[in-house]
A and B are shown apart, each in its own frame.
Chain A
Amino acid sequence: MSLLSDLATPIVMGILLGGLYSIIALGLSLVFGVVKEINIAHGDLVILGSYFGFVALTIVGIDPILSLIIGIPLFFGIGFAIQKYLLNRAFRISMDATLIIAFGISIILQNTFQLVWTPLSRGLTTSYALASFSAGPIYVPLVYLLDLIVAILVMFFLRELLRRTYMGIAIRSAAQDRMAAQLMGINTNRVYALTFGISTALAAVAGVFLGLTFPFTPVSGMSFLIIALGVVVLGGLGSIAGTLVAGIAFGLAQTLGGYFFGVAAQMLVAYTMVLVVLAVIPRGIFGR
């Protein structure tokens, strides 16, 4: 009984944390599934979203979540331009070239963060950042709950976009068969730019909620990229539901691993789980 009530906290926290992980992973998964690029700058784009929220809060003085009204279209534009002017051109040479360009973007972003905001740890300290409420025996931080709610909302929105609009069906067509998509009259390069734009807009959302949940530094992007990669392969490529389930599984493995083996073993347990699951189901939980 005491073990069960002790476990309640890591279980609830793991599930909620999984929400944040799945928002971070969603954009990575989308570009991976559609454009077949491994965007290793995705973590840094997420942190760019965190700094965007930081500027909104500390300089402009508006709530970081509210600032996403500007942040989402702005980041969409940045992502669209990255794919259109950099990656689509590299694409014609080879997929390796896109990987190197993404790596370059990653380094440029990290160094820019250091120059502009110094290597100090920052956080989005809003009035509600530290608020929590009690649910039975446990205390739940409000932002953790927001993470999961927003993850579900974002995924629902993305799913509807991909299912119901011409653009969404075009994105899925291009992901399945590039040549056939071109024969349908789809400008696949434009579809890739749109996809990267959506992915970067998702990074803005992820970044703001990450900043509300954890402190971040200019190099935080890399550790969240590693988590997101684990979530993407665990969930199976191109599956939205899979990304949520995998995000939660990853969050649970981390919090329960921390509970049983200590904080130092959190990532070890989470990644061991990823490897074990992949050994059993190589295509991931929801993979096709």
Chain B
Amino acid sequence: MWDVSLSVNSGEIVAIIGANGSGKSTLLNTISGLMHPAQGSIEFAGNDISVLEPFHIVDLGIALLPEGGRIFPDLTVLENLKIGSYNRKARSESSHNLQRVYQLFPVLKTKEAQLAKTLSGGEKQMLALGRSLMSDPKLILLDEMSLGLAPLLVNDLYRALREIRERGLTILFVEQNVRRSLTEADRAYIMETGRIVLSGNVDDLREEEKVKKAYFGT
């Protein structure tokens, strides 16, 4: 991945679009500290975070929902949510945030004592999103949140996302479904083989010839 320049303003919802292997996940993993950039910098709220470890970055208010959700299968639903609020700041707000997650996904409350591995695919992803919210983030990064889910479930997840946004969270998401990305986001970046090739607000991008040809076949 190289020459990637990207910015997200507070309160925005921004999409990163691209095919498999174009570097989208790498980008999100680097922001959250799982990998470190060889060059360049990543700034969050005015601080350089490019050398910080993931647990520091979570403390600063960035949460990543990794590809596949990565919930803890042998913890209960409630334990999964509880561990989401592990950092000291979020811990004091834990019960308040838990109520908000349960409001967003009532099904999680009814299954809170079950082991997470017994949930359905859609519920697992709701749990993963809820768990990310438990850390009380300012910026949330979503890596292919809807991958492999039925369209109805995807609608549910995006409805939740809009609610989350109403609360003032900033969202940066990676999505393979271009149509979906361009509907949900304010702005989008298009990546190809590790570079950003196009960016702009979604209304303009929809009209862009390259995007039309590559993704809508018209």
Binding site for B on A (CB under 8 A): 166, 169-170, 172-173, 176-177, 179-187, 288
Residue of A nearest to B71 (CB): A180
What B residues does A288 contact at CB under 8 A? 74
CB within 8 Å for A185 and B75 given contacts A169-B82, A177-B70? no
0 or 1 for each of B55-77: is its CB under 8 Å from A? (1 = yes): 10011000110100011111100
Separation of A147 and B69 alpha carbons in the complex (Å) = 43
Stretch at the interface among B37-45, B84-92, B147-155, B161-169: B84-92
What B residues does A176 contact at CB under 8 A? 72-75
Residue of A nearest to B74 (CB): A176
By the criterion CB–CB under 8 Å, are B72 and A177 in contact? yes
> Is the CB of B144 closer than 8 A to any CB of chain A?
no
CB within 8 Å for A173 and B72 given contacts A184-B84, A184-B86, A184-B135? yes
> Is the CB of B125 closer than 8 A to any CB of chain A?
no
Nearest-Cβ distance from residue A78 to partner chain B, whole angstroms? 25
> Is the CB of B83 closer than 8 A to any CB of chain A?
yes
By the criterion CB–CB under 8 Å, are B72 and A182 in contact? no
Of the four ranges (under 10, 10 to 19, 20 to 34, 35 or more), the interface on chain B belongs to 20 to 34
> Is the CB of B24 closer than 8 A to any CB of chain A?
no
What B residues does A170 contact at CB under 8 A? 83, 86
> Is the CB of B32 closer than 8 A to any CB of chain A?
yes
What B residues does A166 contact at CB under 8 A? 82-83, 86, 91
Q: With A183-B34, A186-B86, A288-B74 given, name 13 new contacts (CB 8 A).
A: A166-B86, A169-B75, A169-B82, A173-B83, A176-B72, A176-B73, A177-B72, A180-B71, A183-B63, A183-B70, A184-B131, A185-B54, A185-B58
Separation of A172 and B86 alpha carbons in the complex (Å) = 13
Nearest-Cβ distance from residue A79 to partner chain B, whole angstroms? 22
By the criterion CB–CB under 8 Å, are B74 and A172 in contact? yes
CB within 8 Å for A185 and B55 given contacts A166-B91, A177-B72? yes
What B residues does A181 contact at CB under 8 A? 72, 83
Nearest-Cβ distance from residue B199 to partner chain A, whole angstroms? 26
Q: Which of A172, A184, A288 has the most CB of B within 10 A?
A: A184
What B residues does A182 contact at CB under 8 A? 33-34, 53-55
CB within 8 Å for A185 and B66 given contacts A169-B79, A172-B74, A179-B34? no
Nearest-Cβ distance from residue A69 to partner chain B, whole angstroms? 30
By the criterion CB–CB under 8 Å, are B55 and A169 in contact? no
By the criterion CB–CB under 8 Å, are A180 and B55 in contact? no
Separation of A183 and B137 alpha carbons in the complex (Å) = 12
What A residues does B34 contact at CB under 8 A? 179, 182-183
Residue of B nearest to A180 (CB): B70
What A residues does B83 contact at CB under 8 A? 166, 169-170, 173, 181, 184, 186
Separation of A179 and B79 alpha carbons in the complex (Å) = 17
Contact of B58 among A169, A177, A184 (CB under 8 A): A184
What B residues does A185 contact at CB under 8 A? 54-55, 58-59, 86-87, 90, 135
Separation of A43 and B89 alpha carbons in the complex (Å) = 40
Nearest-Cβ distance from residue B49 to partner chain A, whole angstroms? 14
What A residues does B91 contact at CB under 8 A? 166
CB within 8 Å for A183 and B64 given contacts A169-B79, A173-B75, A288-B74? yes
A-B contact pairs, 23 of them (CB 8 A): A169-B82, A170-B83, A172-B79, A173-B72, A176-B72, A176-B73, A176-B75, A177-B70, A179-B34, A180-B72, A181-B72, A181-B83, A182-B33, A182-B34, A182-B55, A183-B54, A183-B58, A183-B63, A184-B131, A185-B54, A185-B86, A187-B55, A288-B74
Contact of B75 among A172, A183, A186, A187 (CB under 8 A): A172
By the criterion CB–CB under 8 Å, are A179 and B72 in contact? no
By the criterion CB–CB under 8 Å, are A180 and B54 in contact? no
Separation of A173 and B86 alpha carbons in the complex (Å) = 11
What B residues does A169 contact at CB under 8 A? 75, 79, 82-83
By the criterion CB–CB under 8 Å, are A179 and B66 in contact? yes
Nearest-Cβ distance from residue B5 to partner chain A, whole angstroms? 24
